Amino acid sequence: MSQATTSPLPVTIGLDLGSRTSQFAICSPSGDWLGEGKVATTSTGIRGLLERHAGARLVMEASTPSRWIRDIGVELGSEVIVANPRSIPVITASVRKSDRNDARLLAQLGQLRPDLLDPVVLRDACHQEVRSLLFARQQLVEQRTALINFVRAQARMLGEELPSASTRAFVAKCAKLLPASLFKMLEPLVQILEALGQAIRVYDERIEQLCQKDFAQTAVLQQIHGVGPLTALCFVATIGDPARFAKSRQVGPYLGLVPRNDQSCGHDPDLPITRCGDTYMRTLLVSVATRILGPFGQDSDLRSFGLRIAAKGGKRSMARARIAVARKLAVLMHRLLLTGEVYRPLSQPQAAVA
């Protein structure tokens, strides 16, 4: 997933991005500094900088404005490298960190060893728009959950314990069981809960429409038990072009579902997962894995694989099983997305397994 470079030692611009102004440093092929300074983080400012140094390689860290700056650079014929901030501790953990030093380091690394920057591939505009929709829905879900927990806590303070109910059915089932005095105080909040539920349903309808019309490839992912339109659409928008992964196994590390490594002098501790990549997508995959391993999960190779890990025992055996199934699920979904083949939950007949 690395970006190819077109020239060995080009003129390189290191750009340390800021919300209002950005620091730049321009390095010549011989290693001399051709210029340094600040530029406004606007399309006009960035375009002027790149036009004055046409053909230069532009190096910057992944951040909010990096997408539109990348587009300007590509439009002007520049080679653009977007560095992964987590892969350059020489910048992020420096004891002499400053905008000027960061821009210089980006220029030097981007000129000599761009592979050390672990370049990231930015998503297409259509995929980013889908993710904005999914994140908007998630914001509403989190707000609804927080308000429901608040209502339950207020009822508990008066000695009332509201019965269990799904977030979708809470208003219809539980809100009316509140004491009259408390309901009078919380009635505007209950109305907000109703409005949030309606807004979430509108987003769910849009997600289903997108899956049916604009992202028909999500149908092949929904063959897997537990994978619905939300998870399928989020996976497509997160992965982008599936062909950019040389192997399906690379999707697990890309989503942070593999253990960290800290091996040294024969010491190789058992560490938690890296948690790199997209947090929301990783959460959805773990939720699907929990359903697959739950009491209502259907027989499949994924379920058998997870139950074998859980059967090894230990207080974290089920947690390990969920992560392992989520990782295997990500690999499977990428393979299905790449090939479009029919998914078979069991690789061999049940009788043969028995």
Tokens read off for 170? 């809470």
Condensed to tens digits (0 to 9), the pLDDT of residues 110-150 reads 999 999 898 998 888 899 999 999 999 999 999 999 999 99
How is the chain split into domains, by residue range? Answer: 12-117, 125-214, 222-350
Span 215-241, average pLDDT: 96
Give the tens place of pLDDT for each residue, 322-339. Answer: 999 999 999 999 999 999
Which residues sit opposite 80 in a β-bridge? 58
- Token pair listed for 337: 């997305």
Handedness of CA 337, 342, 345, 346 (dihedral sign): negative
Residue 347 reports pLDDT greater than 90: no
Is pLDDT at 299 greater than 80 in this prediction?
yes
Residues 6+ apart with CB under 8 A from 208: 229
Distance set, CA 112 to CA 100, 103, 127 (Å): 19, 14, 32
**What is residue 257's predicted lDDT score, i.e. its pLDDT?**
94
Helix, strand, or coil here: 85? Answer: helix
**Percent of the chain with pLDDT strictly greater than 90:** 73
Token duo for residue 98: 């400053």
pLDDT of residue 248: 95
pTM of structure: 0.86
pLDDT digits (tens, 9 = 90+) for 3-57: 444 446 899 999 999 999 999 999 999 889 999 999 999 999 999 999 999 999 9
Task: Say whether pLDDT at 213 is over 90.
Answer: yes
Q: Which CATH number fits domain 12-117: 3.60.15.10, 1.25.40.80, 3.30.420.40, 3.30.390.30?
A: 3.30.420.40
pLDDT score for 348: 65
Q: How far, CA to CA in Å, does 242 sit from each of 66, 228, 234, 239, 334?
A: 22, 19, 13, 6, 7
Contact 260, 266 (CB under 8 A): no
- In the predicted structure, residue 261 carries a pLDDT above the cut 70: yes
In the DSSP assignment, the letter for residue 342 is P
Return mean pLDDT, the chain.
90
Give me the torsion for CA of 342, 347, 351, 354, rounded to 10°. Answer: -150
Average pLDDT over residues 189-209: 96
**How many other C-beta atoms can be found within 10 angstroms of the C-beta atom of residue 337?**
21
Nearest to 177 by CA among 154, 198, 197, 207: 154
* C-alpha to C-alpha distances, 149 to 143, 152, 161, nearest whole angstrom: 10, 5, 12
Q: What is the mean pLDDT of residues 248-273?
A: 83
Q: What is the mean pLDDT of residues 82-93?
A: 85
CA distance 56 to 190: 57
